Structure 1
Amino acid sequence: MEFSPGILTWMLVAIAGLNLSISVFAFRRRGVRGAIPFAAIMVCVSFYSLGTAVRAASVTLPSYRIGTIIKYAGILLLGPTQFWFALVYTERSSLFNRRRWALLLAWPLGVFLLVLTAPAHDLLWNVQGFIRSAPVAEVARTDGPAVWLTYIYHFILAIITYLLIALIGLRRSDKYRIQVILMLIGGIVPLVGATILLYLMGPTAAWDPTAFAFTITGIVFAVALFRYDFLDLIPVARHKLVDVMADPVFVIDAGNRMIDVNEAGTELFLDQAKDPIGREASDLIPSFDSLKDDSGTHNSEVQIETNKGVRFFNTKETTLTDRAGTAVGSLLIFRDVTEEYRVKKRYTRLIERSSDIVTVIDRDGTIASVSQSIEEVLGYEPNELVGANFAETVHPEDQEEIRSELSNYVEEYGYSNTYRVRVSNADGEWRIIEAHARNLLNDPFVKGIVLNCRDITEKQEQKRELERQNQRLDKFASIVSHDLRNPLNVAMGYLDLLESEMGDEHNESLVTVQRQLDRMEDIIEDSLTLARSGEAVTETSETDLEVLAHDAWENVDTGEATLVVKQTLQLQTDRDRLLNVFENLFRNSIEHNESTDLTIKIGPLSDDFGFYIEDNGVGIPENEREQVFEEGYSTNKDGTGFGLAIVRDIIRAHGWEIRATESEMSGARFEILCVKTVN
């Protein structure tokens, strides 16, 4: 291999060194986004220039081939590295995964293998020899289709690269536009050089203008990158921070003309048909003229009708100044607070529409705020009690207790308790209020003791009425027990005497009397149970349904019948009275069916609502299912007809419901709807 370098060779070597220096400079700033792909571009350009220099100085074909290999190493990788740079610049790197990169690099890598093995085939070109020798060596070469396809491949990648750069930058502010223009100029120069080389001089020409043009590209890009802080103030970052922001951002000059806007901002424009840049902001932004108050500052909140409905925004303006400190425009940010606004309004409406009175008092007991509901509950205007001491608004007999409680726990953050006090309404009537107090004095958003107050006057009156009713029922039961049992006991005593004194001829009459006295005993017993069954249940405990059913089963003569509990429930109930319900239902089923093949099943109606008791007996006719719960109704001549009436009253006393229906086995089924069941 022999070389005869001339001035052209040394110029190209110098250019290669310059490009390599730019690459090293960019690589040293590799921590900055985009530095690595730019450094790779300049390495490729260095190979391109160095290969051209080697070819120009070659004296023999083997040395010329070495220059061709070096040059094509730069050419073939230049297109993909430029495209890589464009993807990073426009934040589209995620579009290309490993598979797509492999497909993109398949052609240049395949062509490079052909370049390495070119002396052994004519798949790329056919070299006939030198047209002229060094220091401006040039060979006679006939290129095949693969060479021209390679140039087309790189031209397409170059065009795509600079189209991406142009599209991302044309709508930016002046600073970004300068960057884009410099980069486009830097890209056009080598494209012009390549066109001159291919159509006027030929691919083998020693005077390759493209090698020089790429040096201009490197310098121009370096200016764009570092003079304008491209890699530090990269448009990708702007795209991230501004373009894809959900909040509208507007840049407006001192004359209120639109200079820049992000995508979210364009959605608010009144007129979206024209390019917004340079137009009056008042013609584009809804209610722009009303944003500023008399002091010249923007209001904190604005309501705008959009294609997505009414939205609420907080506005913030930042004045933009030049290096001399002169105001040249403003940055206007609309922060979308629609969801926050709706939550706040929803919370306010819930408080306003609540039947509870929400009151906040300070450390001394002074009322700081009262919810709107006080007007409906007590008749006061919301602000009428603000400033008054809460303890002074309650009944004099309750004041000492409420003062003592609040003062004892005022220092305990989070403490809560419930009180019942009498409070006068606007008409001077005393109402019973249940107040749940919670200490939130240390909460920075509350700074007070919160009282949730509910008027329970009617509830208390109902409770007292139930207590009076229970007392009346107890009195009735006492009368029945004493005034009827005593004569009955006397009659039974005399019957025993008669049985010992009278002959056998009167046995049938005595048996009849005995049966009627026993029936009277049953009626008295059931009457007492019925009277007490209507007493409202005031105290309950947690009861297991399965355990209760088995206890009731043991208390009843069930013969050969079978009890099946499919699933248990935990009930809040008066256990003794519910036990009476099960006993009566079991007796009712046994008395009306043969016990030999009788099966009684118990199970839940649903996961959290009631239970059923059913059997496989003869069932209850549909037209009699409402009557079975009436007092005195019975199909058994020896029955009192009180059993299911007692069941009904006990169920109602719990606040539940019962209904009779048909089981899946065509027997009787009783469904108890328990609204207070727990899992």
Structure 2
Amino acid sequence: MGMSDLTVGGIYIAATVIALYTGGVLWRHREKTAALPLSIAGFSSAVWSFGLFITTLPWGSVALSGITVVYIGVAVGLAAVFVFALEYTGRERYVTPTLLGLLSIHPIFLLGFVIFNPGDLFFIGLDPAAPIGVDQQWGPAFWLHSTYAYLLVLVTSLLIVERLVRTNRALYKGQAILLAAGLFAPLPMNAVFISGVISFDTTPLGFVIMCSLFAVAIIKYRFVDLSPIAREKVIDSVRDGMVVVDTDDRIIDINPAAERMMNIETSVLGASVSEVLNLSESVAAYEELTATTDTSELTVELGDVYYAIESTPIFDGRDRHVGWLFLLQDVTEQKRRERELEQQIEKLDEFASLVSHDLRSPINVANGYIEQTRITGDLDNLNEIERATERMEEIIDDVLELAREGQAVTEPEAVSVDTIAREAWDHTEANGASLSVDGDTKIVADPDRLTRLFENLFRNSVEHGTETKGDDSTPESLAITVGTADETSTKSTLYVADDGVGIPTNRTECSKTATRPTPTGRGWVSQSSNRSPTHTAGPSR
């Protein structure tokens, strides 16, 4: 073997080692999208280069066997790079047994022609005694094979370039450029050889360039970690925040809306999710959403903001789970409306409770007179029953008006507390209790609402004032007093007191307040619940 053989043989061995190493790195990540066929292409390049090294050996028969090894690498490598291009560009659905069968036709015929060379169609002659390697004189079958090979490599490169044009992410652009350039690099090197410009096969030099570019794609552009997952297909249909995460919990895509929601100012592509999520609530939500490969939804509260997050598993064309798509929607306004609705429902419940409370007095009065009528047959009781039903109708009309117009008193008038109190007492089932009014205070109020106010307070006194006084106390001993307190020049507080046992603080239901006329002669009556009452059951202090 001359010096030239040593030099060329060293180039071939170096190319073999580099291609083997690159194929091995890709093989370790073969579960990633497009990594397996690219790994096979790397190994095929190593076989091709090693076969060329064999052709430089000084033993004729051994050198000739190297030709067969070369074309084994050629046959497998061409099919592998085409399959890689389909998977990398999101066309995995085309990688079917039928397509693989069609791609295998060329390697079978190629190896058949190389090994048997029928009619000298592939090789017109082979000379192992050439200065460098084995001199090959090609027949028509070789040129047919070369045309097919060049077209397949060109189609492969165009597929990757097409992806390069479609993507708008710098990370994927870098990947696509390096991969397309790497796959194309052996082509001109091979063309230089078969055109006769150089006497030895320079294709392995293209393999060295190819593997170097693949190395940059792997290290700098994280090819094995960040293979594209059909970004365009999901981004076009998403108007809210979108984040794509792979199975290694690395962010491989994020749209501007998600970056704003997550307060991200710098690129996080390739970063771990744990590095980006700095709130425990966010981490817990991510772990819950990725616990299974099922679609799931979750609403997360982050400070004053609420996010509805939908997690959808992503599968490639071979039904392999490759990551998750997270859709983020700011639902803070929706949550605010829900809280307002809940408050309105609570108010409606309170309103219904008050209505029920107000109707109870006239209903009890009517029931009492009905029972007396049944016992005594005194039809005069019907007048009292009629008054009670009229009072219920008034309350119902008042409630309907409140429901339509709200609770504000718009037309108060001067009324006598004594008159209103005694009218309310007539609508109350007293059960033997007595009423006294301390003075005849004049106030400005809505007479109907003030009447209902007194009815409720009187009933509370009657119902609760004698519950647990003991055996020495009877209903007849309960005395209820209406009076005023805390008088000033502009207002005073009305109170209803009794000498009963009182209402426990945890059962206080409502509070009613009325004001004395202001110097301008106007005032108001307000209704409230669950506040400190101006009506107090129990001994007056």
Q: Which has the higher contact order (CA 8 A, sep 6+)?
A: 2
Give the TM-score range, shorter chain: 0.3 to 0.5
Please identify which structure carries the higher helix content.
2
Which of the two has higher C-alpha Rg? 1
Give TM-score scaled by structure 1 length: 0.39
